[in-house]
Structure 1
Amino acid sequence: MRIVAPISRVEEVALLAREGANELYCGFVPDDWVGRFKVRNANRRPSGNLRSLRELEAAISSARQSGCTLSLVLNAQSYSDEQLEAAVEMGKLFIERGGDALIASDLGLISELSLHLPLRRIHVSSVATCRNGSAARLCRDLGASRLILPRDVTIEEACEIAAEVPDLETEVFILNDGCVFEEGACSTVHLPQRMGGPICLDRYVSDYRPRGARKLSVALCQSLRENDQEYEKWLWYRFSCGFTTNEQGMAFGPCGLCALPRLLNGGVAAVKIAGREAPTARKLASVRMVKAVLDRVEAGEHGEEIVRLAQNLRPSVEHCRTGYMCYYPEVLRKAVY
């Protein structure tokens, strides 16, 4: 099983590879894209991107020297006709410079890329929300070599797809960055922090009023307040526990470490660490955590041994107990605290 980690700076390539990342991915939004289209939507992140061709070439070279692969993210939910043409050119440039694969979500872009790239150089982004065998076969037939599954698939669903379409690799999320909606069905945008951050994090004040002349009971008002408080709590966990870490820098936030034995045994090829725009220290700590658990899983440990290891790396037992921090809560339901 391969560990996939994000980069936003060239120097991160060697550092993450040294910690155990096998594959890296990056965004690239050059000035000419911004100047031409007046937006930074070459991918879904306005920040955390490489900005120059020199940086991109240096990252490709460093990945090759470090013994890992580098993929380029082109996963905007849609592109205009002019942007589509520019995205294809960007993808061709990346592959020609020695890049390994493109991560794309728009099926039109995937189809167009398959006409211009060497076979099996396309990874289908989780933003495409492909979640069953039929969707996986479509991606394979379009020329993809890997399907990155959405964040909300279950372990059983991921393993079923891996078994049903064995000639298409499957990749699942393992650490960091949840989503309030569901990526491909996202109803908001990822604004830079200086502009308020993601709209889905806005803290709206709710005012509940009943229909007609009746009044809300005290008990119902209290129940509604408790529901709002629980939603605030869920949001905090969904967005990486406020990007908090322990004293050793180990990151809290959405996590699937306890599920690694079942994912490995189910034929899942790779696990993805999210967070291109995160600080380097957080990325390094994330790779260390995944590597520590995966090494033990590949050595034959499983079940409660792995659950205890994963939850005590930070430690995160209290966070895990809520169920809000878990990508695969079905594992938690079987855990013994």
Structure 2
Amino acid sequence: MNILAPLGAKEEVEMLAESGAEEFYCGITPMEWMEKYSPGVWINRRNPYAGFPSFKDLKEAVRQAENYEIPIFLTLNAPYYMEKQYPMLIDLIKRCTEEVGIKAFIVSDPGLMVAMKNKVPEAAIHVSSLAAPMNTGSIELYKQMQVERIVLPRSVQLNEIPALKEAAGDVELEVFILNDGCVYEESFCMTTHSAGAFCSQSQWDYEPFHSDGNKVLSEKDFKILNDQVNDYREFVWFVNDCNCQIANDGLPLGPCGLCSLGKLEKMGVDSLKVVGREGAPYRKLASVQMVKAVIDQVRAQASEREIEKTARKIRNQPQYCESGLMCYYR
């Protein structure tokens, strides 16, 4: 299993590579795209300023990564693109493949995948989690498109992965391992966070109604509703990186799958995705170091129990781990 780290600037390459990153992924929003479609129309699933500012900087990052024999993958994972946007995207893909040295493209729009196969057949495709590859039927579909890797959505659980791996065959599988959740199933989300992540807000006011339209609820019914709302708010708090906080020891909080690394390795998972292209360099560094510390246990053939113990010790948040709400793989 490789550690796939987020990259936001060429200055981060050495720091993350020396800390254990074995693959990188990043975004770029060319000025031509912003001039034509505005910064509010995202070319990938992060705002334009979370990626590289220029092809020159991206090419320098690729050059530095090559010194470590680390490939860089580029995100083109907006939920969908308009057909009239395809020519600009294909030109970008050609340039990044032939001149920059990008090894693969993380894509969610099946239409763009088809266009890539027709126009730039040498460009490798990694199917984004936004493309909903969450069952054997979808895996078979993307295999027919001759993709090289499939990124499983966050909602896929451990007991589902073996069947997906069997269906994938020689196609690599990538899973989320650290940072950033999604309140809903992002595979079916047709919006962006350009206007703010309204889905992660839960501190709204509400007025209870009975099913018969009566505003007066019994004390018992009101308590049931209030408990459910509070449970939902707690869930959203965890998904939203524990309200975007960091722990007292400086480590990032939020969704985590470190305890499951032993199981994931036995299932044949190929890559572990650390989320956070837009994050601060220290957050990326600490995240990669956490994954590396647990992966070292896996590679030393420690037992699943020892791996879980190491993961919980590194996290140092027993109350959050016990809740189960901070876990990708519950």
Band of TM-score, shorter chain: over 0.9
For the residues of structure 1 that align with 2:234 and 2:215, how far apart are their CA atoms?
31
Tell me the equivalent position of 1:80: 82
8 Å CA contact 2:103–2:123 kept in 1: the answer is no
1:132 Cα deviation (Å)?
A: 2.1
Look up the SS of the partner of 2:268 in the other structure.
coil
Look up the SS of the partner of 2:292 in the other structure.
helix
8 Å CA contact 1:158–1:170 kept in 2: the answer is no
For the residues of structure 2 that align with 1:212 and 1:146, how far apart are their CA atoms?
51
Q: Pick from 102, 109, 112 the counterpart of residue 109 of structure 1.
A: 112
Tell me the equivalent position of 2:204: 204
Distance 1:2 1:213, change over 3 A: closer
Distance 1:212 1:100, change over 3 A: closer
Matched, 1:18 2:21: no
Look up the SS of the partner of 2:326 in the other structure.
coil
Tell me the equivalent position of 2:31: 31
Tell me the equivalent position of 2:246: 245
8 Å CA contact 2:93–2:123 kept in 1: the answer is no
Tell me the equivalent position of 2:285: 284
Tell me the equivalent position of 2:67: 65
Q: How many residues align?
A: 325
AA aligned to 2:46 is R
8 Å CA contact 2:97–2:123 kept in 1: the answer is no
Look up the SS of the partner of 1:72 in the other structure.
strand
AA aligned to 1:27 is G
Look up the SS of the partner of 2:130 in the other structure.
helix
Structure 1 residues not aligned, in runs of 5+: 330-337
8 Å CA contact 2:263–2:304 kept in 1: the answer is no
For the residues of structure 2 that align with 1:36 and 1:185, how far apart are their CA atoms?
27
Distance 1:154 1:253, change over 3 A: same
Tell me the equivalent position of 1:93: 95
Structure 2 residues not aligned, in runs of 5+: none
Distance 1:15 1:235, change over 3 A: same
Residues 36-56 of structure 1, C-alpha deviations (whole Å, 9 max, x = no match) = 112341102114111212111
Runs of 4+ in 1 over 4 A off after TM superposition: none
Matched, 1:139 2:142: yes
1:184 Cα deviation (Å)?
A: 1.6
Look up the SS of the partner of 1:50 in the other structure.
coil
Residues 285-325 of structure 1, C-alpha deviations (whole Å, 9 max, x = no match) = 11111111111012111232222211110302110111110
Q: Pick from 54, 57, 68 the counterpart of residue 55 of structure 1.
A: 57
Which residues of 2 match residues 195-274 of structure 1 at below 5 A? 197-202=196-201, 203-210=203-210, 211-213=212-214, 215-274=216-275
Residues 15-57 of structure 1, C-alpha deviations (whole Å, 9 max, x = no match) = 1111111100001011110111123411021141112121111
8 Å CA contact 2:242–2:253 kept in 1: the answer is yes
